[in-house]
Amino acid sequence: MGSVCKDEREEVIQAWYMDDSNEDQRLPHHKDPKEFVSLDKLAELGVLSWRLDADNYETDEELKKIRESRGYSYMDFCEVCPEKLPNYEEKIKSFFEEHLHTDEEIRYIVAGSGYFDVRDRNEAWIRVWLKKGGMIVLPAGIYHRFTLDSDNYIKAMRLFVGEPVWTPYNRPHDHLPARNILKHLWTRRMLLLLESLLEYVEAFGSIIMITIMSSLVLYCCILRMYVVFVLKYQKTYKNTCA
């Protein structure tokens, strides 16, 4: 039997291509048949994702590490429900307008759930469903929108590098420099590759060191055997000639 290695992020983050219907935005809007999108494919669009322990976000070392490595110094919470969000109806409408930001949009869902829709390279909508424990980074310049699902409640941690800028630029805003960044897909791919390489080196650093050290020891042993052999041969040769 082959081993099944399931990505644990998929328990709290799922993505799929959307249908074209104008029905209630809070419905899943799957295509028929359903067409799921892998989290690796999302990463190729610059959309990064993690699964974290939302019950212990205050002490979570993994969250701390992500914040430190990506420079997310700012943090607050955004609760979307009529009682907690001022101008609720207006906000619900503006979140669902297709827009972009000049910086990353970073959301970590600590309660409830909701849909972040992003445009793929062919302008098709991918719906990303985030539940409690799911964290997502939308790259600067990607066209996207947000809606609650039919459970009607979400509480998200918002992270930011430095002082936050929430300004949404509704489509079209293609002249913004943030749009160019998206066009440099090669740079993005290379960065992703470098990032996973570094993670790999970090994770397997000790194994690599052990391999290097044992190769060195083996090399020294072979060298010693060679020297001993050469010296012995020289001695035998001298004795024969004398």
Annotated binding-site ranges for Fe(2+): 99, 101, 105, 144
- The entry of ligand L3FJYLFB, Ni ion, Fe ion, none near residue 78 (CB within 5 to 8 angstroms by kind) is ligand L3FJYLFB
Residue 136 CB, shortest distance to ligand L3FJYLFB, in Å, is 10
Q: Do 181 and 174 meet the contact criterion of CB atoms below 8 Å apart?
A: no
Q: Give the containing element (helix H, strand E) for 172.
A: none
Contact assessment for residue 157 and residue 110, using Cβ atoms and an 8 Å cutoff: yes
- Assigned token pair, 177: 């420099």
From 122-130, 134-142, 162-170, 226-234, give the range in contact with Ni ion by CB under 5 A. 162-170
Rule CB under 5 A: is residue 168 a binding residue for Ni ion?
yes
From the annotation, which residues make up the binding site for Ni(2+)? 99, 101, 105, 144
Say whether residue 85 binds ligand L3FJYLFB (CB under 6 A). Answer: no
Residue 108 lies near ligand L3FJYLFB (rule: CB under 6 A): no
Q: Strand locations in the chain, DSSP E?
A: 13-17, 36-37, 48-51, 74-80, 99-100, 105-119, 125-131, 134-138, 144-148, 154-160, 169-170
- Please, which residue, 166 or 200, has the CB nearer to Ni ion? 166
d(CA 94, CA 210): 55
CB of 32 to Ni ion, least distance (A): 30
Q: How many residues bind Fe ion (CB under 5 A)?
A: 1
CA dihedral sign, ordered 209, 212, 218, 223: negative
Closer by beta carbon to Ni ion, 88 or else 237? 88
